[in-house]
């Protein structure tokens, strides 16, 4: 049977370690979890069975693996140290017989976005960022439709536009919106992105290193690897729709508490074919998974055992292709969620009232 493996790792040290080791997570201080994570060996979290293509009936099996490094450690240690740990986890996937490996969360953010890892392993690798980008733009546009924003008349901003997912999302939004603002930290890279995107764009493309400029935007997609909140209540105009792709999230909890006039939705969420369970609770409602996991499974169902999404510059043709592949096999964009829960109708109505 064709098979896949996917690497997860702890983002929230206490909550995520507790999913596998409840007692250890309770007794160990957070600092100790960060420290120990460097020395903990890779492990199998779940053996996945029963994912079946709606198009062909083909079934695949897979393994969810943990690369124990916490997100903070992954960013603190030199990239070579993180690569070593990710490759070690990839070797476990090889021993289990997986035919493709997906890199979850910061295992694809760190360093060169999977290139070094792919070179070191015998099996092909994908970051899953292509499908994540497609799903995130769909969630943003669906949220816009539900509150009555017409993209062709709207200003959109992409935060983290110099990143893999942010860059691809900017490419997907450019032909759809009246004006596009690219937000990042490196002015030179932003200017290069503007040059690339201007050819696709329906309207002006502007760049800024000042996050406060998202206040001009009706639609915001944020996908940074800051690892902490970077968008606060004062950054958002009344009626704004925000799609937060980042994990850990970019949008401050204060926005959810203080701004009932804006709509924040989760990016990159998808329903599995048949809403099967992957056998490990990584914090999402049953039947839902992340776009990066879905991309890996969809490639296994399709029999596309090749390095698919690697590196930091995504190919928009691949973003479109993986969306078609995943849809054919029965993956569906999740209904709108916020903080992993369905968006309440009252919130949509409150934001819609701003645009009436």
Ligand X SMILES: NC(=O)c1ccc[n+]([C@@H]2O[C@H](COP(=O)([O-])OP(=O)(O)OC[C@H]3O[C@@H](n4cnc5c(N)ncnc54)[C@H](OP(=O)(O)O)[C@@H]3O)[C@@H](O)[C@H]2O)c1
Contact 44, 92 (CB under 8 A): yes
Distance in Å, CB of 153 to ligand X, minimum: 27
Minimum CB distance to ligand X smaller for 239 or for 266? 266
Closest CA to 135 of 348, 289, 303, 354: 289
> Can you read off the two tokens belonging to residue 219?
């639609």
Distance in Å, CB of 113 to ligand X, minimum: 6
Instruction: Give the SS3 label for residue 295.
Output: helix
> Can you read off the two tokens belonging to residue 245?
């792709």
Beta strand pairing status for 155-159 and 179-183?
parallel
How far is the CA of 183 from the CAs of 129, 163, 180, 194, in angstroms?
A: 19, 10, 10, 11
Minimum CB distance to ligand X smaller for 210 or for 346? 210
Distance in Å, CB of 353 to ligand X, minimum: 29
Beta strand pairing status for 101-103 and 125-126?
parallel
Q: Which residues bind ligand X (CB under 6 A)?
A: 105-106, 108-109, 113, 129, 132, 160, 162-166, 184-186, 223-226, 230, 245-247, 267-268, 290-292, 312
Q: Which residues of 311-341 are buried (b: 16+ CB within 10 A; e: fewer)?
A: bbebebebbebbbebbbebbbbbbebbbeee
Distance in Å, CB of 265 to ligand X, minimum: 11
> Can you read off the two tokens belonging to residue 312?
């930091």
Rounded Cα distance between 165 and 246, Å, is: 9
Centroid of chain to Cα 298: 16
Cα angle value 244/250/253 (rounded, 5°): 95
Minimum CB distance to ligand X smaller for 53 or for 130? 130
């Amino acid at each position: 049977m064709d098979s896949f493996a996917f690497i997860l790792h702890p983002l929230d040290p206490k909550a995520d370690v507790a999913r596998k080791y409840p007692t250890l997570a309770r007794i160990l201080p957070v600092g100790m979890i960060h420290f120990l994570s460097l020395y903990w060996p890779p492990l199998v979290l779940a053996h996945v069975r029963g994912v079946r293509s709606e198009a062909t009936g083909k079934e695949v099996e897979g393994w969810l693996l943990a690369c124990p490094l916490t997100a903070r450690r992954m960013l603190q240690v030199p990239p070579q140290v993180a690569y070593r740990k990710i490759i070690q986890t990839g070797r476990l996937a090889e021993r289990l017989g997986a035919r493709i490996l997906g890199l979850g969360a910061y295992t694809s953010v760190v360093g060169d976005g999977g290139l070094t890892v792919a070179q070191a392993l015998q099996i092909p690798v994908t970051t899953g960022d292509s499908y994540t980008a497609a799903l995130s733009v769909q969630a943003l546009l669906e949220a816009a439709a539900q509150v009555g924003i017409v993209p062709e008349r709207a200003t959109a901003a992409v935060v983290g536009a110099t990143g893999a997912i942010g860059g691809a999302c900017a490419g997907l939004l450019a032909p759809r919106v009246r004006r596009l603002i690219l937000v990042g930290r490196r002015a030179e890279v932003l200017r290069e992105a503007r040059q690339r995107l201007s050819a696709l764009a329906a309207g002006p493309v502007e760049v800024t290193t000042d996050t406060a400029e998202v206040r001009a935007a009706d639609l915001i997609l944020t996908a940074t690897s800051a690892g902490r909140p970077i968008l606060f209540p004062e950054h958002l105009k009344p009626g704004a729709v925000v799609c937060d792709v980042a994990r850990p999230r970019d949008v401050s909890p204060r926005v959810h508490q203080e701004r009932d006039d804006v709509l924040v939705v989760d990016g990159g969420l998808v329903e599995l074919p048949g809403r099967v369970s992957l056998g490990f609770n990584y914090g999402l409602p049953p039947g839902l998974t992340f776009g990066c996991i879905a991309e890996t499974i969809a490639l296994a169902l399709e029999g596309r055992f090749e390095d698919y999404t690697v590196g930091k510059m995504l190919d928009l043709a691949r973003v479109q292709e993986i969306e078609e592949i995943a849809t054919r096999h029965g993956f569906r964009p999740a209904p709108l969620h916020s903080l992993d829960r369905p968006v309440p109708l009252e919130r949509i109505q409150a934001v819609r009232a701003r645009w009436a």
